[in-house]
Amino acid sequence: MAHKAGFVSIIGKPNAGKSTLMNALVGEKMSIITPKAQTTRHRILGIVNEEDYQIVFSDTPGVIKPHYALHESMMHQVDGSIVDADLILLVTDIYEEYDETDVLKKLEGSSAPVAVLINKVDQSDEETVKAKVDFWEEKLKPKAVFAISALKDYNVLAVMNFVIENLPEHPAYYEKDALTDRNDRFFASEMIRAQILKQYKKEIPYSTEVIVTAFVEGEKLHRISAEIIVERDSQKNIIIGKGGEMLKIVGTYARRDMEEFFQKKVFLEMFVKVIPDWRSKKNYLKKFGYE
């Protein structure tokens, strides 16, 4: 039997019920749950592993009209995850006022099959649901439309089966067994990166790279060392902050995220290093895993 694997992007507005759907779809089968980590292309929410398939569910930030630069960059991520997707699940709900133009615009850039999931149908009646189904079939000509209730687990299995059916043949993208060290390092660096995105303004997060240099697992405690690489001394000063304040904040929050994620105490040490112009130096990019 050929092995199937693919990225399934769950898109839709905030509050459409994406997280509830995610939990219902993945249920107990979740082998990796990431805290909302900004990975390079996706926010990976969960990976479902079975012998003959692997589904990588990724969320996109709720689609919004960009009001300022950060939103712009979040929307680039939406675009990225739509372009990268092998399959798209558009989650809308029964209260939707037919003004999903933002979302539909995003979908124009994709050739991936789309399924529309009309959520919260438990709070509606048959007539309304049917009108919604007709609207979406007409508007988008999707591969499928499902009326679901993620909360009540209604029709979720049908969605899951649709996903498995429409996965491309492909080897697994991620290790199938328990989290390997490489994945653990990856998630640790993502948690630091997420805090850098959160705590600093403007260009700082984009001129920063996070490298986990040591990851020592213990029974009760993981010891993790990381380097935050920046391009200029001025950036180093910003990252460290007055009297080391800022770096301390990043470290505290990142450590909490790691402890929750690894279910272990974590000792985290971070160093800030200046490598002028690292982004254009081939050997560094290679070392950081970009090759």
Is 14 annotated in some ligand binding site? yes
Is 63 annotated in some ligand binding site? yes
Is 62 annotated in some ligand binding site? yes
Is 121 annotated in some ligand binding site? yes
Local confidence pLDDT in tens for the 291 residues of the chain: 789 998 888 887 767 777 778 777 876 444 444 444 443 344 666 778 888 998 888 765 444 444 444 445 544 544 445 556 889 998 888 887 766 776 777 677 677 889 999 999 999 999 999 999 999 999 888 999 999 998 888 999 999 999 999 999 988 877 775 434 456 787 788 889 888 888 887 677 777 888 888 888 888 899 999 999 988 899 999 999 999 999 999 999 999 989 888 888 999 999 999 988 766 665 555 555 443
Is 19 annotated in some ligand binding site? yes
The Cβ of residue 195 has, within 10 Å, a number of other Cβ atoms equal to: 21
Is 120 annotated in some ligand binding site? yes
Evaluate if pTM is beyond 0.95.
no
8 Å CB contact between 190 and 38: yes
- How far apart, in Å, are the Cα atoms of 212 and each of 186, 276, 277? 8, 19, 20
Is 218 annotated in some ligand binding site? no
Is 16 annotated in some ligand binding site? yes
Is 80 annotated in some ligand binding site? no
Is 177 annotated in some ligand binding site? no
Is 59 annotated in some ligand binding site? yes
The residue with tokens 């990796």 is 32
Is 13 annotated in some ligand binding site? yes
Is 61 annotated in some ligand binding site? yes
Domains and CATH numbers, the chain: 4-165 (3.40.50.300), 181-287 (3.30.300.20)
Is 18 annotated in some ligand binding site? yes
Among the listed residues 19, 6, 282, the one whose alpha carbon sits nearest the alpha carbon of residue 150: 19
- Give the whole-angstrom CA distance, residue 3 versus residue 171: 6
